[in-house]
Amino acid sequence: MPVSTASSAPSRRGPVLGRPGLLVAGALAVIVAMAWLGIASSEKADRARELQVVTQHLRGEGLRVEGLTWGAVATGGGDRISASRAAASGFAIHHRLLDDLRRLRSLGAPPELLAPIERDLGRMADAGLAANSTYLTDMAGARRIVERRFGPAIKRFVASVDRAAAAQGHRAEEAQRRAVVGSAGTLVAGVLVLGLLGFLGHRIRRTAAVDARSREHERRAENRIRALVRHSSDVVAITGADGRIGWIAEPVRALLGRDPDALAGTPVAALVHPDDAGRLETLLAAATSGPGRPAPVTVRLVDADGAPRSVEVVADDLRADPDVAGVLLNLRDVTERQALQEQLRHEAFHDRLTGLPNRALFDDRLGRALARARRHGLEAALVYVDLDDFKSINDGLGHAGGDALLRATAERLTQAVRVEDTAARMGGDEFAVLVEDVRDQAEVLEMANRIGAALAEPVLIEGQRVVSTASIGVAALAAGADAETARVDADLALYEAKRQGRARVVSFTGSMRQDLDDRLELTADLERAIDAGELSLRFQPIVELGDGAVVSVEALLRWDHPRHGPIAPVRFVPLAEATGLIVPIGRWVLETACAQLAAWDATLPAARDLALNVNVSTPQLQEPGFAATVAAVLARTGIAPARLTLEITESVLLDDGDAVQGELRALKELGVRLALDDFGTGYSSLAYLQRFPVDVLKIDRSFVTGIADDPERAGLVNGIVEIGRTLDLDVVIEGIETPAEARLLRAMGSGHGQGYLFSRPVRADAVPQLLLHPLLDPVNL
C-alpha cells in the first residue's frame, strides 16, 4: 500500500515566544489587557473546553486502534488482504492521532501532559506494527504481541489521555473562577503574568525539543513501515479498475528484477506470460464486478531477462477504501513450490532407481492403449522382460552391483525400443514394454529379439564383466481385451520362456492359457491329495562304491492322481512350492519316511544301520519351528538324529534370511546331517560351502553322463571330488547308470553313488531285498 511520508507540522509557538523581545512585549500586552480580564478568562475557558473535546477525540481514536487490531487477530486466519486492510486503516488512524496531538499543542496543552501521551502513542504504534507484520506468518505470535505489548500500551495511552482530560477540566474551572473574580486581581495577575512569561519561555523551549523528538519518532515509524513492505517475500500492488499499476511494493525488484517506480502506470497484464494473460484478466474482472473475493489463480510473470516466474495472485476490490482506493493484488512466488510438486508427481509415477515409468503409470498407459486399439483397430502388444538368475548375480555383486545392473538394463531397454513405446520397471528385475501402432506382430517379435540381444551384451559393473540374459514374453493386445487379460497373457508367455530354458523370446498362444487352467486345477487337486491318500513314497538306495553295500535310502515323493494317473514330481513339486502346499506335504514326507525306517528297524536287523535321506525345500526351512518339528518326528519314531540326512538345494544357501540360517543351525545342534543336493548347477556353490554346516556333497547327474568317454568332464568331476575331500565332506555321485561310470568314480575316490545302475526308486516293501545283497560286484566291476 502507499506509505505516507508526511511528518508533523512544526510548532509555531516555540520559535515565536521563545525570543526575549517578544516575551517582554507579551508581558506588557498582558498588563494592559488585564482590564479585559473577564473577557480573557472566558476565552481561556473556551479554549480549555476545546482542549477537552480534542482530548476525548484522541481517546476515541486510540480505542478504535485497539478494536481494529484485536478484530484482525481474533477473526483472521492468515488472510493477506485482511492484514493489508487492517494495516492501511491503522496507518490512517495513527495519522489522525498525530493531528490531534498537533492540535493540542496549538491550543496550548501543557507539555507535561502531552509528553506521556506522545510516548505511549509511540509504544502503541510499535506494538501494533509488530503484531500486524507477524499476523500473516505466525497468528499465535501476533496474539502474544497484542496481549503482552499492544494491550498494555493501549491502556497506558488511554490513562495518559484521561489524565490530560482531567487536567484540562480543572483548567477550565480555574479559568471560570478567574472570570468571576474579575478585576480584583488585575495588578496581582499582571505581576504573576510577568513571572509566568519568563517561566513559559523556558517551558516553550522545552516543548520545542519535545516536538522535535516527536517528529523524529514519526519519521522512524514511517521508515519502519517502508522496511516491512520492502523486505516482505510477497509483492503487494494496487491497480486501478483499468488494470494499470498505481503502486507496487519494492519486493518486485527481487521477484522480476524490475524497478517499482518504472512500473507505475504499466498495465499489469504486460508483465504476464501471453499464455496466462487471459486468466489474470478473468481474475480482475471477477474481483471488480461482484461481491466477495474470487479464487486465487496461478500465472507466469516474465522477469527482466524474459524468464518466467510462477506466482499465485489474490485480488481484492478495495476501491471504496480511502486508504487503498484500488484493486489490491497480492503476488506470491510459487516457482519452487510448483517445481517440487512436479518432482513429487514424477516420483509418484516413475521408478526412483532407473527413472523409468513405474507400474502405476504403465497400467494407466496400458488402459489408454487398449481403448485406442478398440476405437481405431490398431495393432499393439505387451512385452514382459525378466532377468535370468538376477538373485544369484545380486548376491554375488552385492545390492549396489545389483542396482547398477538394473540401471544398465533400463538404459539398454530404452535404447532398444521406439520413442513412442513405453518401457517401465514393474518391480525387482521385472520390466515391461508397451508397443503401440505396429504393422503386425512380426514387428513386435523383432523388437523383442532386439531387446534380448541388447540385454545379453556384457556390462562392466564395479570392474567386473557381468553377463546377464533375459527371458521375454510377448502378448498381442487383442481387440476387446482388458488390461488384466493382457497382463496374464504376457506373464504366461514369460513363464513359458523361463520353462524352456531362459534367455529366449516366447509369444503367447491359447494353449498357454489352457496350461494355466490345468495348473490351477492340478493345484486344487494337490490340496486334497494328502487326505485322499494319493501321495506315496519311493526309496532309492545310496551305495558304498567300494563294496556295493546300501548305506542309505532317499525318500522320493510320488503322486498317483485318480484321473490322470502318476504325475511326475517335476510337474507338481514346483506348484506345491509356489502355493505353500510344500510345507504340509513336506511334513507328511518326513513323518512317513521316518515311520517307515522305524518299521524296517523292527523287522530287519540289516536295517538298523541304514540311514535316511529326505528332501527339504526353502519354504519348509522358512517355516518357524521347522527344526522343532524334525525333533518331534524323530522323538515319536525313535530314529536317532545322526541317521537322518536332510537334502537341501543351493537356493537354500543363497537365502541369507535370519530365519533360514537359524533353522539350519538348530538342525545341526540337533545332530541331523545336511546334504547339498544337485551340486554344481547353481551360481555360487563353492562360495557358500565353507559358510554353512554342510556334511554331504551330492554331485548332480548332469556331470556324470558320458563321463567314461569325455576326459574333460571326468577331470571336472574329479576336481569336485577333490574339493569335497579337502572340505572333509562325504561325496555322493548321482545318476550312475553304467559300470564304466562306477569304475571311474571309484577310482577317483568318491565314496558313495546313486543311480539306475544300482536300483530305480522302489516301494517300501522292496527295500528289504535290496539290503540283503550288495548292489555292486566290486570284483567284476
Q: In three state form, how does the secondary structure of 421-458 look?
A: CEEEEEECCEEEEEEEEECCHHHHHHHHHHHHHHHHCC
Q: Which residue has the higher pLDDT, 195 or 547?
A: 547
Q: For 278-301, write each residue's pLDDT tens digit.
A: 887 887 887 788 777 888 888 888
Q: How many CA atoms lie within 13 A of 242 on its CB side?
A: 6
pLDDT exceeding 70 applies to what percent of the chain?
78
Q: For 342-390, write each residue's pLDDT tens digit.
A: 777 776 778 889 999 999 889 989 988 888 877 776 678 999 999 988 8
pLDDT of residue 147: 80
CATH of domain 349-508: 3.30.70.270
Q: How far apart are the first and last CA of the chain?
A: 110
Residue with cell 490351477: 520
Distance CA 645, CA 474 (A): 44
Q: Is the pTM of this model over 0.85?
A: no
**Which of 637, 638, 692 is closest to 660 using CA atoms?**
692
DSSP state for residue 233 in the 8-state scheme? S
User: What residue type is assigned to position 323 of the chain?
Assistant: D
Distance CA 207, CA 613 (A): 113
Q: How many CA atoms lie within 13 A of 729 on its CB side?
A: 27
Residue with cell 559300470: 739
Task: Kindly state the average pLDDT of the residues 552-558.
Answer: 96
Q: Which residue has the higher pLDDT, 41 or 505?
A: 505
Distance CA 118, CA 774 (A): 122
Dihedral angle computed from the Cα positions of residues 123, 129, 132 and 136, in that order, rounded to the nearest 10 degrees: -130
Give the confidence band of 182 by pLDDT, cuts at 50, 70, 90. Answer: low
Out of 260-274, 481-495, 693-707, pick the least confident.
260-274
Q: In three state form, how does the secondary structure of 660-723 look?
A: HHHHHHHHHHHCCEEEEEEECCCCCHHHHHCCCCCCEEEECHHHCCCHHHCHHHHHHHHHHHHH
Q: For 309-331, write each residue's pLDDT tens digit.
A: 888 888 888 887 887 778 888 88
For domain 235-339, give its CATH number from 3.40.50.10950, 3.30.450.20, 3.10.180.10, 3.30.9.10: 3.30.450.20
- 3 state DSSP class of 329: strand
10 Å CB burial of residue 161 (0-12, 13-18, 19+) is buried
Per-residue buried b or exposed e for 714-751, using 16+ beta carbons within 10 Å of the residue's own CB: beebbebbebbbeeebbbbbbbbebeebbebbbebebb
**129 CA to centre of own chain:** 39
Distance CA 528, CA 510 (A): 28
Please give the mean pLDDT across all residues of the chain.
80
pLDDT of residue 87: 63
Q: In three state form, how does the secondary structure of 169-224 look?
A: HHHHHHHHHHHHHHHHHHHHHHHHHHHHHHHHHHHHHHHHHHHHHHHHHHHHHHHH
CA of 695: how far to CAs of 485, 672, 767, in Å? 48, 10, 25
Neighbours of 395 (CB within 10 A): 20
Q: For 67-82, write each residue's pLDDT tens digit.
A: 666 666 555 545 555 6
pLDDT of residue 642: 96
Residue with cell 529366449: 504
Give the confidence band of 171 by pLDDT, cuts at 50, 70, 90. Answer: confident
Contacts of 361 (CB under 8 A, 6+ apart): 349, 350, 424
Give the confidence band of 254 by pLDDT, cuts at 50, 70, 90. Answer: confident
Task: Kindly state the average pLDDT of the residues 39-64.
Answer: 71
Residue with cell 514424477: 346
Grid cell at residue 227: 522496511
pLDDT of residue 214: 62
Q: Which residue has the higher pLDDT, 673 or 43?
A: 673
Give the confidence band of 626 by pLDDT, cuts at 50, 70, 90. Answer: very high
Out of 423-432, 535-544, 717-726, pick the least confident.
717-726
CATH of domain 537-772: 3.20.20.450
- 3 state DSSP class of 555: strand
10 Å CB burial of residue 759 (0-12, 13-18, 19+) is buried
Distance CA 225, CA 369 (A): 60
Q: Which residues pair with 331 in a beta bridge?
A: 235, 313
**Cα dihedral across residues 156, 158, 163, 164: positive or negative:** positive
Distance CA 487, CA 121 (A): 77
**Which of 566, 606, 614, 567 is closest to 590 using CA atoms?**
614
Most confident of 21-25, 132-136, 309-313: 309-313
Look at the chain and count its residues: 781
**201 CA to centre of own chain:** 75
Distance CA 164, CA 151 (A): 20
Residue 267 has φ and ψ, to the nearest 5°, of -60, 130
DSSP state for residue 147 in the 8-state scheme? I
Q: Which residue has the higher pLDDT, 745 or 67?
A: 745
